[in-house]
Amino acid sequence: MAEKRKDSKGRILKTGESERKDGSYQYRFTKNGKRYTVYASTLKQLREKEDEVQKANILHIQYTRGNMTVKELLEWYMSTKSNLCQGSIGTYMTDLHRIEKHSDLMDIKIKDVTTADIRELCKKLLKAGYATATIQRTRNDLMYPAFKLACSDGIIYKNPCDFHWDLPEKKRKKSLSKIQQEQLLSLVKNSPKFSPQYEWIYILLNTGLRIGELLGLTMKDIDMQNRIIKIDHQLQTVSYDGYIHYIKKTKTRSGMRIVPMTFGVYENFCRVIDSRPANAQELTIDGYNDFLFFTRNDTIRTYATVAYLMKQIQDEYNRQYTNDPIHLTAHILRHTFCTNLVQSGASLNTIQYVMGHKHISTSLDVYTDSHFTDVSDEIVANIQRFGLNPDNAATQLPVYTNFYTK
């Protein structure tokens, strides 16, 4: 009588079962003349899958899923995340759109996807100008767990996203100089084509708001009498199979803040209010209404329209000022405002508060610009001298917000 096969722990293996070199297990069986293999991390998990096979009802579905495409896999993975908030769903949908736009990966069968394919996707996204953090999120928070789900379900054996990727060094954002700021505002204000965009560009440049914070502002969020802006949410838009707008509530205490208006910001808000469409109050998104920023077609302004206009303005600026070109985005305007605060002598904790930075180290990044290296060293030295943690210094220092009152 043949000796019964056992695994490395001495447990008897059934017909079709075997232990792999890496300690995982597999079960091979034949159905309708075709040979199938099921994989699992443990013997217990393997036998649970064997039970499913024996029940047979899901056999054909379960083991032909290897023919599903990457798009089908990602949508299946998202369907398992039943407790996602609207914001997270929006992020996943945006990531799906990004993959679909910049690669042919979505149509490939998951059993044919290799690590080289995932690396190539990352390279294409990097070349398209996406931040390394965005690429990491797409890979680590969407693709990796989706393929992991396929592995745990026995559809594929190896996760093609399981590799080390040496990210390129993060490019430092370049703020606009004082002259560039003046030239930009002058160009926009005096251009028949771009002048309708002047107000929101001026407000971004002089408040440091995130673009989602600006676009999400309603009449209830601005106190024109006291000249302050209350920030506690953002407007987000997902462009996947049409546009979906939703409100993303600020999650951290640092993000919830009050930003003072300069007189110039106040004047431009007055013009924004006066130019709103008659039906501005009718649009409601997640319980919010009476929004401030609309397009000339009376539709709510979105990040996509802002990015498109920024690119057009950038190209026109660089055409006129060929010897002093700029890179223009909403975030560059925010970064420029932060730099202006540094130059004005605002305290570090004040900058952190007004910008809504969760960690003071983010504010410190502005100081490490080539023009402020000495200032940065001095600030870090002072923080260390007083025994403060750079990431918590704002909670240990008094905050004041009336640092610019003109």
Q: Classify burial at 108, counting beta carbons within 10 Å of its beta carbon; exposed 0-12, middle 13-18, buried 19 or more.
A: middle
pLDDT at 98: 85
The CB-side HSE value for 327 (13 A sphere, CA atoms) comes to 10
State yes or no: pLDDT of 23 exceeds 50. yes
- Assess whether 367 carries a catalytic annotation: yes
- Assess whether 130 carries a catalytic annotation: no
Using one digit for the tens of pLDDT, what is the confidence trace for 171-207?
666 889 999 999 999 999 999 999 999 999 999 999 9
214, 200 contact by CB (below 8 A): yes
Using one digit for the tens of pLDDT, what is the confidence trace for 71-89?
888 888 887 776 666 667 7
Q: How confident is the model at residue 93 (pLDDT cuts 50, 70, 90)?
A: confident
pLDDT at 297: 86
Q: For helices 330-344 and 303-320, give the axis angle rounded to 10 degrees.
A: 70
Between residues 194 and 165, which one has the greater pLDDT?
Answer: 194
pLDDT at 296: 86
- Assess whether 137 carries a catalytic annotation: no
Q: Is 167 helix (H, G, I), strand (E, B) or coil?
A: coil
- Assess whether 119 carries a catalytic annotation: no
State yes or no: pLDDT of 6 exceeds 80. yes
Q: How confident is the model at residue 392 (pLDDT cuts 50, 70, 90)?
A: very low
Of 102, 331, 358, 359, which is the active-site residue?
331
Q: How confident is the model at residue 274 (pLDDT cuts 50, 70, 90)?
A: very high
pLDDT at 166: 74
268, 199 contact by CB (below 8 A): yes
CATH 1.10.443.10 is held by the domain 178-330: yes
Using one digit for the tens of pLDDT, what is the confidence trace for 39-64?
888 888 888 877 766 654 333 444 44
Of 210, 233, 301, 335, which is the active-site residue?
210
- Which residues, at least 6 apart from 379, have a Cβ–Cβ distance to it below 8 Å? 348, 364, 367
Between residues 391 and 155, which one has the greater pLDDT?
Answer: 155
pLDDT at 245: 82
Domain spans of the chain, in order of start:
17-63, 67-152, 178-330
For the chain, helix (H) and strand (E) counts, in that order, are 17, 10
**Which two three-digit tokens encode residue 193?**
């084509």
Using one digit for the tens of pLDDT, what is the confidence trace for 139-156?
988 899 999 988 887 788
- Which residues, at least 6 apart from 198, have a Cβ–Cβ distance to it below 8 Å? 185, 188, 189, 268
State yes or no: pLDDT of 223 exceeds 90. yes
Question: Can you give the pTM of this predicted structure?
Answer: 0.65
β partners of residue 29:
36
Q: Could you tell me how far CA 234 lies from the centroid of its own chain?
A: 13
**Which two three-digit tokens encode residue 32?**
């309708």
pLDDT at 244: 74
- Rounded to an integer, the average pLDDT of 291-303 is 90
84, 141 contact by CB (below 8 A): no
* Candidates 2.60.40, 1.10.3470, 1.10.150, 1.10.40; CATH matching 67-152: 1.10.150
Cα-based angle 217, 330, 328 (whole degrees, multiple of 5): 155
pLDDT at 92: 78
Range with the largest mean pLDDT of 183-192, 302-311, 397-406:
183-192
Of 5, 11, 172, 251, which is the active-site residue?
251
- Assess whether 251 carries a catalytic annotation: yes
318, 326 contact by CB (below 8 A): yes
Separation CA 258–CA 143 (nearest Å): 38
Range with the largest mean pLDDT of 2-6, 31-35, 112-116, 319-323:
319-323
Of 36, 288, 317, 367, which is the active-site residue?
367
